[in-house]
A = this chain, B = another copy of it.
């Protein structure tokens, strides 16, 4: 029987050598030692161990306990490391050296792969923002007057960003229905998910440095999936006039694998046509497009309930980064900015229950016969995605999942 290698099995799959996302893992035998991993098929390459064994010049970066040093090293290093990894995982000459450093995926525990510096959440889907406007302000304009002029965003809580698989304890807080004389306190009764895409900043900026549209790949290390858990009842009562706070700050989940921006070259598409002229720092006409054709799947308890298309997002990550830095605000390694809920034009493409159930008024019927209005204790939400890769391949994203646990007493 010929030697079969996990590397052969991986070749044409969503985690083939055209992808090579980065993560951080531990093993059951050595749970205290976090290591950088590179996913290949259903295995994880211990990148630091391989780099040591092969005397790579980048071994120090790859032996770190998280991605920070590699992220901070900048795009030329990212490209060099990616070329090295590609050679190790495709050139048969390396096979005998590499295979001892592969761990089967089920045998590792995936950790939060980087320390989140600042977390910013945008609101970049016209379909999402329009639906929310129609649900909450049925008699007014669906979009606020600023929406088509700038990518609206706000800062979220960096300290409660958690890795996929972390249990999400139902938050408690104040809520007040329109007919309640005063607010009541208790567990949220409108717990929702938001399917989003996150961009991870590697290269920081100097004070006052703005990031023009074309410089996105100089600063963004990679892309992950985000579930921006939202307690709609807490949020609705608190958010005027300073924005969402406790309705979001209890937890935000991210996928464990950071897909390098260079793996998404074949996913770049033009964003939707803009019907409102943009100020020069945001006007991407005549620039290489930074729309991305990522296809998301959202499943609750294993049943896919939505397929949001990221290509339908009005504002691109390049515009968001240009906007976020145009006032002189600096970027740090580890800054995470998320797209906001990804919703497409069709009902089956909406990225949160608020929209999917139209404010709770039209519960979803699940295949098992149950109705889903907002999330129940025990419900598990999983978001996955893929993007077109070279030669008909797919670039896979690791899933971001989380199960709702009962509120604390």
Contact = CB atoms under 8 A, between A and B. Distances in A.
Contacts of A156: 155
A329 B245 CA distance: 10
Identical chains bound together, number? 2
Contact of A250 (B117, B174, B329): B329
Contacts of A172: 326-328
B231 A157 contact: no
B238 A150 contact: yes
Given A149-B182, A159-B118, A239 B241 contact: yes
Given A149-B183, A327-B173, A243 B246 contact: no
A240 interface: yes
A387 to B, nearest CB: 28
A218 to B, nearest CB: 18
Contacts of A160: 329-330
Interface string A273-316: 00001011100000000000000000000000000000000000
Given A182-B277, A326-B246, A159 B208 contact: no
B144 A240 contact: yes
Interface residues of A, number: 60
A123 interface: yes
**Chain A binding site: helix, strand, loop or mixed by DSSP?**
loop
B243 A154 contact: yes
Nearest to A158: B118
Contacts of A169: 207-208, 328
A123 B241 CA distance: 10
Given A117-B159, A154-B243, A183-B149, A250 B327 contact: yes
Contact of A242 (B154, B158, B323): B154
A156 B173 CA distance: 21
A156 B280 CA distance: 26
A157 B159 contact: no
A206 to B, nearest CB: 11
Q: Kindly list the 6 A-B residue pairs having the minimum CB-CB distance in the complex, ordered from nearest.
A: A243-B243, A171-B327, A155-B155, A154-B242, A242-B243, A246-B327
Given A118-B159, A239-B241, 18 more contacts: A118-B157, A123-B242, A144-B241, A146-B183, A149-B176, A149-B182, A152-B238, A152-B242, A155-B157, A159-B329, A172-B328, A173-B326, A184-B279, A239-B243, A241-B243, A246-B324, A249-B327, A250-B329
